Chain A
Amino acid sequence: MEVLLGVKEESTDYVQLGISSSSSSSYSYKLVPWLSWDEWLFVDESLFSNSPNSVASALRRISAWRSRGCLPVVIEVTSSIIEIQQKDPYFRKDQSNDALDNCRGDQSSDASLSDEMLAMLYCMAIMRLVNGVVEKTRKKTEVSIAVAADAIGISRTLIDIRHEGSHRELPALEVVRSASVKALDWLKYYYWEPQKKAIPFHSNETAGIKTEIRLKFHELAFCLRIKNTPHLCSSKVKEKLGSKKDLTKILKSLVGLYSAFSSEVVSVLLEFLLKGINSSDSSELPVNTQSSPNLHISLNEWKLVITKFSNKEPELLLALLNAVLDIIENQEAVIYETGWVRTSSDHRAETLQVEHLSSLFKWLVENFEGLKPHVEKDSVAEIKVSSGEKTILKAILMELLRKCLVLSASANNQLMDSAIHLAQLTGDNYLLGKLNKLSSLVSSNLDVTEEDDSLKHSNNVFKKQDESMSEAAKKLEMIKRRKIKKKVVKKTDADAENTNRWVLAKSWNQCPIGMLPRAVGSSGCLPVLDLNTVPEKVSQLLGRKENWELNQCSGKREASSDLHLLDNQCVKKLRETKDGCVSDSEHVSSIEDFSGHLMIDGVWKRVGEEELLAIKSALRILI
Chain B
Amino acid sequence: MASRSEPENPSPNIYIPPEWSEAADCIAYDSVTSPPPIAIVCGAKNCGKSTFSRYLLNILLQRYKKVGYLDTDVGQPEFSPPGFLSLTVVDEVTPDLTIPHLKTPERCLFFGDVSSKRNPTTYLNYIFALYDYYQKEYCLFDKSASPAKVGLPLVVNTPGWVKGVGYDILVDMLKYMAPTHVVKINISAESKNLPCGAFWLDEDHDGMLNLIEINSARQDSFNRSVLVQKDARLLRDVRIMAYFRQCFSSNLNISTIKELAHALASHPPYEVPISSIKIRHLHCQVPGSEIFYSLNATIVGLAVSSEGSKDLPWCAGLGIVRGIDTFKGLVYVITPVPRGTLEKVNLLLQGFVQIPTGLLQVQGCISPYMSANVLSAS
Q: Which residues of A contact B (CB under 8 A)?
A: 1-7, 9, 11, 14, 17, 19-23, 26, 28-37, 39, 60-61, 63-70, 72-75, 103-106, 136-137, 190-191, 194-195, 198-200, 382-384, 386, 388, 500-517, 522-524, 526-536, 538, 552-553, 555, 557-558, 561, 564, 570, 574
B124-132, B174-182, B204-212, B328-336: which one contacts chain A? B328-336
Say yes or no: B257 contacts A7, CB within 8 Å: yes
Q: Kindly state the separation between the CA atoms of A536 and B257 in the bound complex, as whole angstroms.
A: 40
Nearest chain A CB to B160 CB, angstrom units: 18
Q: Given A103-B287, A533-B326, A557-B330, do A11 and B231 touch, yes or no (CB 8 Å)?
A: yes
Say yes or no: B267 contacts A29, CB within 8 Å: no
Q: Given A2-B96, A22-B234, A501-B276, do A32 and B270 touch, yes or no (CB 8 Å)?
A: no
Q: Kindly state the separation between the CA atoms of A72 and B239 in the bound complex, as whole angstroms.
A: 25
Say yes or no: B265 contacts A530, CB within 8 Å: no
Q: Kindly state the separation between the CA atoms of A9 and B271 in the bound complex, as whole angstroms.
A: 33
Q: Which residues of A contact B98 (CB under 8 A)?
A: 1-2
Q: Which residues of A contact B231 (CB under 8 A)?
A: 11
Q: Which residues of B contact A555 (CB under 8 A)?
A: 273, 275, 329
Q: 9 closest pairs, A vs B, by CB?
A: A6-B255, A514-B297, A72-B378, A510-B266, A64-B290, A508-B268, A67-B284, A529-B292, A64-B293
Q: Which residue of B lies closest to A556 (CB)?
A: B273
Q: Given A383-B252, A538-B327, do A21 and B266 touch, yes or no (CB 8 Å)?
A: no
* Chain B 270-295 per-residue mask, 1 if CB under 8 angstroms from chain A, else 0: 11111111000101111111111110
Say yes or no: A61 contacts B290, CB within 8 Å: yes
A60 CB contact (under 8 Å) in B99, B277, B289: B289
Q: Kindly state the separation between the CA atoms of A501 and B344 in the bound complex, as whole angstroms.
A: 9
Say yes or no: B287 contacts A505, CB within 8 Å: no
Say yes or no: B265 contacts A522, CB within 8 Å: yes
A508 CB contact (under 8 Å) in B269, B276, B281, B356: B269
Q: Which residues of B contact A75 (CB under 8 A)?
A: 378
Say yes or no: A534 contacts B377, CB within 8 Å: no
Q: Which residue of A lies closest to B362 (CB)?
A: A512
Q: Kindly state the separation between the CA atoms of A507 and B332 in the bound complex, as whole angstroms.
A: 12
Q: Kindly state the separation between the CA atoms of A533 and B362 in the bound complex, as whole angstroms.
A: 29
Q: Given A67-B350, A512-B366, do A505 and B242 touch, yes or no (CB 8 Å)?
A: no
Q: Which residue of A lies closest to B353 (CB)?
A: A69
Q: Which residues of A contact B269 (CB under 8 A)?
A: 504-505, 508
A63 CB contact (under 8 Å) in B262, B285, B374, B378: B285
Q: Kindly state the separation between the CA atoms of A34 and B368 in the bound complex, as whole angstroms.
A: 8
Say yes or no: A522 contacts B365, CB within 8 Å: yes
Q: Given A66-B284, A538-B327, do A501 and B272 touch, yes or no (CB 8 Å)?
A: yes
The 9 sampled A-B contact pairs (Cβ below 8 Å) are A22-B234, A26-B357, A67-B284, A501-B343, A503-B270, A503-B271, A504-B268, A508-B269, A513-B367
Say yes or no: B296 contacts A522, CB within 8 Å: no
Q: Which residues of B contact A28 (CB under 8 A)?
A: 372
Q: Which residues of A contact B355 (CB under 8 A)?
A: 513
Q: Which residue of B lies closest to A532 (CB)?
A: B289
Nearest chain B CB to A521 CB, angstrom units: 9
Say yes or no: A502 contacts B342, CB within 8 Å: yes
Q: Kindly state the separation between the CA atoms of A386 and B267 in the bound complex, as whole angstroms.
A: 8
Say yes or no: B328 contacts A561, CB within 8 Å: yes
Q: Which residues of A contact B277 (CB under 8 A)?
A: 501
Confirm or deny: B256 has a beta carbon within 8 angstroms of a beta carbon on chain A: yes
Q: Kindly state the separation between the CA atoms of A511 and B370 in the bound complex, as whole angstroms.
A: 14
Q: Given A60-B287, A501-B272, do A29 and B371 touch, yes or no (CB 8 Å)?
A: yes
Nearest chain A CB to B280 CB, angstrom units: 11
Q: How many A-B residue pairs have CB under 8 A?
A: 286
Say yes or no: A388 contacts B268, CB within 8 Å: yes
Say yes or no: B270 contacts A528, CB within 8 Å: no
Q: Kindly state the separation between the CA atoms of A300 and B273 in the bound complex, as whole angstroms.
A: 48
Say yes or no: B354 contacts A63, CB within 8 Å: no
Say yes or no: B371 contacts A32, CB within 8 Å: yes
Say yes or no: A508 contacts B266, CB within 8 Å: yes
Say yes or no: A5 contacts B260, CB within 8 Å: yes
Q: Kindly state the separation between the CA atoms of A538 and B297 in the bound complex, as whole angstroms.
A: 24
Q: Which residues of A contact B192 (CB under 8 A)?
A: none
Q: Which residue of A lies closest to B252 (CB)?
A: A383
Say yes or no: A195 contacts B378, CB within 8 Å: yes
Say yes or no: B369 contacts A383, CB within 8 Å: no
Say yes or no: A5 contacts B268, CB within 8 Å: no
Say yes or no: B329 contacts A64, CB within 8 Å: no
Main secondary structure, interface of B, reads mixed
Say yes or no: A198 contacts B373, CB within 8 Å: yes
Q: Which residues of B contact A (CB under 8 A)?
A: 13, 96, 98-99, 231, 233-235, 237-239, 241-242, 245, 252, 254-260, 262-277, 281, 283-294, 296-298, 320, 322-330, 332, 339, 342-343, 345-346, 350, 352, 354-362, 364-375, 377-378
Given contacts A34-B371, A531-B289, A552-B327, 18 further A-B contacts (CB under 8 A): A2-B96, A6-B256, A19-B257, A33-B369, A60-B289, A67-B350, A68-B294, A383-B262, A386-B268, A502-B343, A503-B271, A504-B269, A508-B268, A510-B365, A511-B323, A522-B364, A524-B365, A570-B327
Say yes or no: B367 contacts A19, CB within 8 Å: no
Say yes or no: B357 contacts A23, CB within 8 Å: yes
Nearest chain A CB to B285 CB, angstrom units: 6
Q: Kindly state the separation between the CA atoms of A5 and B330 in the bound complex, as whole angstroms.
A: 30
A61 CB contact (under 8 Å) in B262, B274, B293, B365: B293
Q: Kindly state the separation between the CA atoms of A505 and B331 in the bound complex, as whole angstroms.
A: 11
B256 CB contact (under 8 Å) in A17, A61, A516: A17
Q: Which residues of A contact B294 (CB under 8 A)?
A: 64, 67-68
Q: Which residue of A lies closest to B358 (CB)?
A: A21
Q: Which residues of B contact A383 (CB under 8 A)?
A: 252, 254, 259, 262-263, 266
Q: Kindly state the separation between the CA atoms of A533 and B274 in the bound complex, as whole angstroms.
A: 12
Q: Kindly state the separation between the CA atoms of A191 and B231 in the bound complex, as whole angstroms.
A: 30
Q: Kindly state the separation between the CA atoms of A558 and B342 in the bound complex, as whole angstroms.
A: 22
Q: Which residues of B contact A522 (CB under 8 A)?
A: 265-266, 364-365
Say yes or no: A564 contacts B327, CB within 8 Å: yes
Q: Which residues of B contact A194 (CB under 8 A)?
A: 375, 377
Nearest chain A CB to B349 CB, angstrom units: 12
Q: Which residues of A contact B292 (CB under 8 A)?
A: 527, 529-531
Nearest chain B CB to A616 CB, angstrom units: 20
Nearest chain B CB to A147 CB, angstrom units: 18
Say yes or no: B327 contacts A528, CB within 8 Å: yes
Q: Which residues of B contact A17 (CB under 8 A)?
A: 256-258
Say yes or no: A21 contacts B377, CB within 8 Å: no
Q: Which residues of B contact A20 (CB under 8 A)?
A: 358
Say yes or no: A5 contacts B329, CB within 8 Å: no
Nearest chain A CB to B33 CB, angstrom units: 32
Q: Kindly state the separation between the CA atoms of A564 and B274 in the bound complex, as whole angstroms.
A: 20
Q: Kindly state the separation between the CA atoms of A11 and B264 in the bound complex, as whole angstroms.
A: 23
Nearest chain B CB to A535 CB, angstrom units: 5
Say yes or no: A21 contacts B234, CB within 8 Å: yes
Say yes or no: B327 contacts A21, CB within 8 Å: no
Q: Kindly state the separation between the CA atoms of A181 and B272 in the bound complex, as whole angstroms.
A: 46
Q: Kindly state the separation between the CA atoms of A39 and B294 in the bound complex, as whole angstroms.
A: 13
Q: Which residues of B contact A67 (CB under 8 A)?
A: 281, 283-284, 286, 294, 350
Q: Given A9-B235, A513-B322, A524-B365, do A531 and B327 touch, yes or no (CB 8 Å)?
A: no
Q: Kindly state the separation between the CA atoms of A538 and B328 in the bound complex, as whole angstroms.
A: 11
A2 CB contact (under 8 Å) in B99, B234, B346: B99
Q: Kindly state the separation between the CA atoms of A386 and B323 in the bound complex, as whole angstroms.
A: 17
Nearest chain A CB to B249 CB, angstrom units: 11
Q: Kindly state the separation between the CA atoms of A19 and B255 in the bound complex, as whole angstroms.
A: 13
Q: Kindly state the separation between the CA atoms of A472 and B252 in the bound complex, as whole angstroms.
A: 48
Nearest chain A CB to B250 CB, angstrom units: 10
Q: Which residue of A lies closest to B11 (CB)?
A: A2
Q: Kindly state the separation between the CA atoms of A137 and B366 in the bound complex, as whole angstroms.
A: 28
Q: Which residue of A lies closest to B234 (CB)?
A: A21
B270 CB contact (under 8 Å) in A64, A69, A504, A514: A504
Q: Which residues of B contact A39 (CB under 8 A)?
A: 293
Q: Which residue of B lies closest to A107 (CB)?
A: B285
A535 CB contact (under 8 Å) in B262, B329, B366: B329
Q: Which residue of A lies closest to B352 (CB)?
A: A69
B284 CB contact (under 8 Å) in A30, A63, A136: A63
